[in-house]
Structure formats: C-alpha cells, structure tokens
Amino acid sequence: MPTTRLERLHSLDALRATMMLLGLVLHSAVSYITTPLGAAWPYKDPQTSVLLDLVVFFIHLFRMPAFFVVAGLFGALLLCREGRGGFVRNRGRRVLIPLVMFWAVMMPLCGYGFVFSLRQVGGEMPWEYMTDRPILRQPLLGHLWFLYYLLLFYAAALVVMPLAARVPAALRERADAAFRAIVTTNWGVAVMGAITAVSLIPMTAPGLDTEPALLPPVRVLAAYGIFFGFGWLLFRHHDLLPSFADRWKPMLIAGATAGAAYLFVAIRQPLFTDARAWHLTAIALAGPATWLVIFGLLGLAVRYLSAPRPLVRYFSDASYWMYLTHLAPAAWLPGVFAHFQVPAVVKFLMVFALTTIVTTVSYHYFVRSTGMGELLNGRRYPRAGERIASNVSPA
C-alpha cells in the first residue's frame, strides 16, 4: 500500500454522497411503481407509473455498486493513514455505532409508517414476514443493511491484508499490472462486467439482490464484495484516477445505452418463453451496464468535482444523516397522499420534495453543530453566529 498522505478526495466524497442521496429518490418513487415488490416494500399506491419503474430499476442497477467502490477506496485510505488500531476505532465510531443507534429508532418508526400507509388503501402489514423465519435470516436491518455489509467487508480486509503481504513480489507485480490494465483500457470494463454478470447468475431476479438479514446469503455478499474489493485495490493505484476523467462521457453514454437495453429486457419477461433465457439475457446486459456507469461516474466526479465547492461539501456531509433518516418520511408520506387523485409522478415528487426538506432542515439545525454531527461527520461544525464571531479579529 502507498504511504503518501492524500488530501481529501472531494470528487469521490461527492460521488459517495450522490449515491446515498439517490436513495431518497429511489425510496420516494418505489411506492408508485407497477412492479410488485412484496414485503421488500409492502406499500403500493393506487396510482402507479411505468416511468417510475424505469427510474427505480436504473438507479438500483448502479447506485450501491458505485457506493461500495468508493467505500472500498476510502477504507483502504483510512487503514493506510490510521493503522489497524485507528481504522478499527474509526469504523466502530462512524459505522457500528450509527448502525446500532439508528436501527433502534428507525426500524419501529418505518414499520409503523408502512402500517399507516397500508391502512389508507385497505392493506395490512405482513408482520409474518418478520416472524416466520430464523432470527438471523429475518430482514431486520432495513435500509441500514449497507452499514452491516461494510463492517463485514472491513473485517474481511483486515484478515486478507496480512495474507496478501505474504504473496511473492513477482505475483503481486503481475496482479498490479493486470489491475492497471483493467482500469486504463476499454476492454477492462468488459472484464469487470463479465465478472459481475457471472455473480448475478444465482440471484433471485436479474439484478443485485438486497438482503437486509443478519446472515445474508453468500451470493449477495460476494456480488457486492467485488465492488468493494475493486475500490480497495483502486486506492493502491490511486494515481490512475485521472484516467477515468479522460473517458467519462463515452462510458456514461455506453452505460446508459446498455442500461436501457437491460431495462427493456428486465420488464419484458413475457417476450421470453423460457425464464432461464430471460434471466441470462438480462444479467448479460446488467453486468457491463453497471461497470460502464461506474467508470463514467468516477470520471465525471474526478473531472468536475475535484476542487472543493461549499455547497457540494455541505451535502457530502449531510448525506449520511439524510440517508439514515429518510426512510421514515418515505414510509409515512405515501399514506398521507394516498387519497389524492393526482398522477403517480406528482405524488412521487411531493414525497421526494418533503423527504428532502425534512432531512436537510433537521440536519442543519439539529445535527450539523451537535454531537450527532461529530459522530456522523467526524467533526462538529460551528453554528453560523459562532463562525462569524470566530472570524472577527481582535482589536
């Protein structure tokens, strides 16, 4: 691992925050899609729109994979800076404590929100989904599952790193050369797409499964672990980050094209007489599409967001709180609007706008300058009045 001390990577920090904030879009829209999701999202509004299906499934295609790539890179960066002890203390404070704290508050709050919304349309909350399986396989983690996965990946990295150090130098050099070729050549994205496509074969649907259980299936951990591992290795070769910026536009265009083809196949299952053929065709498109979009987003962020920008920095800090708390309004508000006779897209925009306002305002006034802000952001920002006073020089 390199020993140089990097400055704050504003570009990747902004990309990580963007992926978290896209969760607000996804969860505000999912109540209004035509595709039934069962107990994964029990509320279904009377008004739906296939347009929102496209929005939800396209975001799902790349959002968490891109997040785990960035998380892997920042994890390796933190281990390089702080050492094993500092790494464990930091991840315990910034990941484990928020997971436990917000799980205890958000899970009941979101559960009652779904009950309220379902009752507005004559439905019932399928509580048996939470009680008819072993405790380790119950979907207890909700939208906080990604924090749990991060902890598992961090633990795996701490085990693997000492073992990797014992690999012969010649083999490490060949592995480094292969990784650098994957990052810098156009065929590299095809290699990563093929690896991800293979990892999607055992999924229950032609895409990444989301499993918020305490004992997630190995297939799901392995699929997400590919993205985390890629990000971890990318830190070792962080000098290659500018190479993404040189080709962000063709990568995003190709990713959007492949993503559109994937969406067409994924929502047109009746066109296939054989379910296995449908699944394999969809994942053959999903794998390359995911990595094309990731490479494009990395390049876009490095190209335009490397310099610090106050507004971007603000929402980069706010995004953690906004994501941790957003599911409560996203569960309650659809019930409030259930009887509104307006199109599904309008309802989605209302839920998204209010969810964004609630989470942003609560962050600004009750989190940013408090101990909670220090826990989530690593520092406590001064209030506006305090900041102005601190900038006044003595007479």
The DSSP-derived string for 198-262 is HHTTTSSSSS-----SSS--HHHHHHHHHHHHHHHHHHHTGGGHHHHHTTHHHHHHHHHHHHHHH
| Among 6-20, 66-80, 301-315, the least confident range | 6-20
pLDDT number for residue 151: 98
pLDDT number for residue 273: 75
When pLDDT is cut at 50, 70 and 90, the band that residue 9 belongs to is: confident
Q: What percent of the chain has pLDDT over 90?
A: 76
Average pLDDT over the chain, rounded to whole? 90
| Cβ contacts of 101 within 8 Å, gap of 6 or more | none
pLDDT number for residue 136: 59
Alpha helices in 92-168 (DSSP H): 97-120, 145-164
Q: What is the mean pLDDT of residues 377-389?
A: 69
Greater pLDDT, 344 or 388: 344
C-alpha dihedral sign at 47, 48, 51, 54: positive
Query: Distance (Å, rounded) from C-alpha 77 to C-alpha 336?
Result: 44
When pLDDT is cut at 50, 70 and 90, the band that residue 129 belongs to is: low
| Among 86-100, 186-200, 262-276, 309-323, the least confident range | 262-276
Total Cβ atoms within 10 A of residue 320: 20
225-235 pLDDT tens trace: 999 999 999 99
pLDDT at 394 over 50: no
| Among 87-101, 289-303, 332-346, 376-390, the least confident range | 376-390
Q: Which two tokens stand for residue 8?
A: 């704050």
Tokens 């989530």 sit on residue: 376
176-217 pLDDT tens trace: 999 999 999 989 999 999 999 999 999 988 999 988 888 899
pLDDT at 339 over 70: yes
Q: What is the mean pLDDT of residues 36-61?
A: 92
pLDDT at 326 over 90: yes
- Burial tier of 154 (Cβ tally within 10 Å: 0-12, 13-18, 19+): buried
When pLDDT is cut at 50, 70 and 90, the band that residue 388 belongs to is: very low
Beta strands in the chain (DSSP E): none
| Cβ contacts of 30 within 8 Å, gap of 6 or more | 37, 41, 52, 56
pLDDT number for residue 389: 44
When pLDDT is cut at 50, 70 and 90, the band that residue 123 belongs to is: confident
pLDDT number for residue 5: 46
Half-sphere exposure of 310 (CA within 13 A, CB side): 0
| Cβ contacts of 251 within 8 Å, gap of 6 or more | 189, 244, 292, 293, 295, 296, 299
Tokens 């509580």 sit on residue: 127
| Cβ contacts of 75 within 8 Å, gap of 6 or more | 87, 91, 150, 153, 154, 157, 228, 231, 232
Most confident of 82-86, 122-126, 381-385: 82-86
Query: Distance (Å, rounded) from C-alpha 27 to C-alpha 142?
Result: 12
Q: What is the mean pLDDT of residues 229-253?
A: 95
Q: What is the mean pLDDT of residues 74-99?
A: 96
pLDDT number for residue 23: 97
pLDDT at 358 over 50: yes
Greater pLDDT, 19 or 269: 19
pLDDT at 40 over 70: yes
Distances (CA, A) of 111 to 7, 118, 281: 41, 11, 36
Greater pLDDT, 136 or 287: 287
391 φ, ψ (degrees, to nearest 5) = -85, -5
255-304 pLDDT tens trace: 999 999 999 998 876 677 788 999 999 999 999 999 999 999 999 999 99
Q: Where are the domains of the chain?
A: 10-390
- Angle in degrees, 0-180, between the axes of helices 248-266 and 50-91, rounded to the nearest 10: 120
pLDDT number for residue 140: 79
C-alpha dihedral sign at 225, 188, 165, 83: negative
